[in-house]
Amino acid sequence: EIVLTQSPATLSLSPGERATLSCRASQSVSSFLVWYQQKPGQAPRLLIYDASNRAPGIPARFSGSGSGTDFTLTISSLEPEDFAVYYCQQRSNWPELTFGGGTKVEIK
């Protein structure tokens, strides 16, 4: 099983600040890494696929980078609606899919 470890668990920032979220895989997942955003009481929403491709309709302030075992989701300037939980997910080990434990981005 490929384990994804997200850090930090919680990120306390102010609107307008830059957010940097990390996802580390226990073994290489190549570029088969996905990022989702989830707000309270809502289903997850796809943000980034194949490590660095923004999904349709996702603002340019969201960017993904990395390959192999180390990945980063960056939000260049936080908007009020960006405070949420973010999950990474791998599909390198198809058909088994695994998710990271999540990073909560909260208002400081």
Q: How far is the CB of 41 from another protein (least distance, A)?
A: 9
Task: Give the binding range for another protein (CB under 8 A) out of 11-19, 61-69, 72-80, 89-97.
Answer: 89-97
Residue 62 in the binding site for another protein (CB under 8 A): no
Residue 91 in the binding site for another protein (CB under 8 A): yes
Amino acid at 56: P
* Binding residues for another protein restricted to 11-30, rule: CB under 8 A: none
Residue 50 in the binding site for another protein (CB under 8 A): yes
Residue 49 in the binding site for another protein (CB under 8 A): yes
Q: Taking Cα atoms as reference points, which of 30, 26, 19, 11 lies closest to residue 72?
A: 19
| DSSP state letters, 90-107 | E-TTTT--EE---EEEEE
The residues pairing with 20 across neighbouring beta strands, listed in sequence order, are 74
